[in-house]
Homo-oligomer: A and B are copies of this chain.
Amino acid sequence: MKVVVLSGGVGGARFVKGVVEVAGPRDVTVVGNVGDDLEVLGMHVSPDLDSILYALAGLNDERRGWGREGETWHALDSVAAFHGETWFRLGDRDLGLHLVRTEALRAGEPLSAVMARLVRALGLETRLLPATDDRLRTWITTPAGEFTFQEWFVARGHQDEVDALRFEGAETAGAAPGVLEAIAGADLLLLAPSNPYVSLAPILAVRSVRSALERRRVPCVAVSPLIGGRTVKGPADRMLARLAGGTSPAHVAGCYTGLIDALVVDEADADSLDGIDVRAIVTRTLMTGADARRRLAEAALGVVPA
C-alpha cells in the first residue's frame, strides 16, 4: 500500500515515524511543510523537514521534543560571545546539516534534490519531499503586527493571538518534483496531527497540491492534533478557537473541507462529534511512545483494507 503523508514538524514527525514503521519505509512518501523555513546566521534552515528527517533516522531528541539527541551548543555559545543572533537555537550537530544544505542551495540545487541526498546519506528509504522547491513563507498577523512564522513562534513564544495567516509565494509556487506523482499513485493520503493553520495549510496553499487532494480517488484521512479539544503542545487549540470558533472535531475537519474523508480523533473527543461531516475514527491519539505511535498509525492506515 502506497501512502503519502502531509506533515509539519515535531508532532507530525512522530506520526510519520509510526506510519513508516507500519507501512514500511519504501511505501511512504512524506510531503513536508516549508512555510517555517528561515534564514538564520546566513544559513537556510528547514525546521519541519529536519524534524521529520531526524525522527525517521532516530536522531531526534525525544525528551526535548525538537532537535537532535546528544546535541551540544558550542557554536551558538561562540555566536553569543561574538554578539551574533542566537534567538533561533541551532545545535552543533544540527548545524552540520544546515551548512551542507545551504551550500548546495546556493550552488543552485533544488531543496527537494538536497533533501533526497540527505535522506540517502542517513540510509533511509522513505521519500521526504518539501511541498515546494519555490520560496514559500508563512506570515502571521497578530494584534502586535505581522511576523514571519519563526519570529512569532520562537522569538515571541507564540504569545500573540493570530488574526490571519499569509503564505508568501504560495500563489506561484509549484509542487516539488515527485509530490503530485506520489499523490496520484497513492492508495491512501494522510494528514499528520500537525497544526492545521501553520503546518498543513502552507502545504495545502500550493495550488497544485490542494487540487491533487481535491481530485483524489483514494481516501484521505486527517489525524486531529487535539485531545479533549486541547493541544498537547503548541498553539493549535488557541488558533482554532479564535479562527474557527471552536476546538471540536468538526472544527478541525472544517480546516480540511473537501480534502478529507475521515478524521482520526481521540477517545476524549468521542462525545463531541456533533456537526462533523466526515467519518470519525476514534482511538487513543497521544503518542507516548513507539507502541502508541504505531497504534495511531494503524488506526489511520486501517481505512484502507490491507
User: Are B102 and A82 in touch, CB under 8 angstroms?
Assistant: no
User: Are A78 and B106 in touch, CB under 8 angstroms?
Assistant: no
User: Are A96 and B83 in touch, CB under 8 angstroms?
Assistant: no
A118 contacts partner chain B, Cβ-Cβ < 8 Å:
yes
Contact with B along A180-199 (1 / 0, CB 8 A): 00000000000000000000
A75 contacts partner chain B, Cβ-Cβ < 8 Å:
yes
Residue of B43, B74, B91, B94 touching A96 (CB-CB under 8 A)? B74
A76 contacts partner chain B, Cβ-Cβ < 8 Å:
yes
A121 contacts partner chain B, Cβ-Cβ < 8 Å:
yes
State the CA gap A71–B75 with chains docked (Å).
10
User: Are B96 and A78 in touch, CB under 8 angstroms?
Assistant: yes
Residue of B75, B94, B96 touching A99 (CB-CB under 8 A)? B75
In A56-78, the 8 Å CB interface with B consists of 71-72, 74-78
A81 contacts partner chain B, Cβ-Cβ < 8 Å:
yes
User: Are A117 and B83 in touch, CB under 8 angstroms?
Assistant: yes
Q: Which of A76, A80, A93, A102 gathers the greatest number of chain B CB atoms within 10 Å? A: A93
State the CA gap A75–B75 with chains docked (Å).
9
User: Are A78 and B103 in touch, CB under 8 angstroms?
Assistant: no
User: Are A93 and B121 in touch, CB under 8 angstroms?
Assistant: no
Contacts of A96 in B (CB 8 A): 74-82, 84
User: Are A82 and B97 in touch, CB under 8 angstroms?
Assistant: yes
User: Are B117 and A81 in touch, CB under 8 angstroms?
Assistant: no
A305 contacts partner chain B, Cβ-Cβ < 8 Å:
no
A27 contacts partner chain B, Cβ-Cβ < 8 Å:
no
State the CA gap A96–B75 with chains docked (Å).
4
Contacts of A100 in B (CB 8 A): 41, 79, 82-84
- Known pairs A42-B42, A83-B117; A78 contacts B102 (CB<8 A): no
Residue of B74, B83, B103, B106 touching A92 (CB-CB under 8 A)? B74
A43-B99, A78-B95, A82-B100 are known contacts; what are 16 more A-B pairs with Cβ within 8 Å?
A41-B99, A42-B103, A42-B106, A74-B91, A74-B96, A75-B92, A75-B96, A75-B99, A78-B93, A78-B97, A79-B100, A81-B96, A81-B121, A82-B96, A82-B101, A82-B121
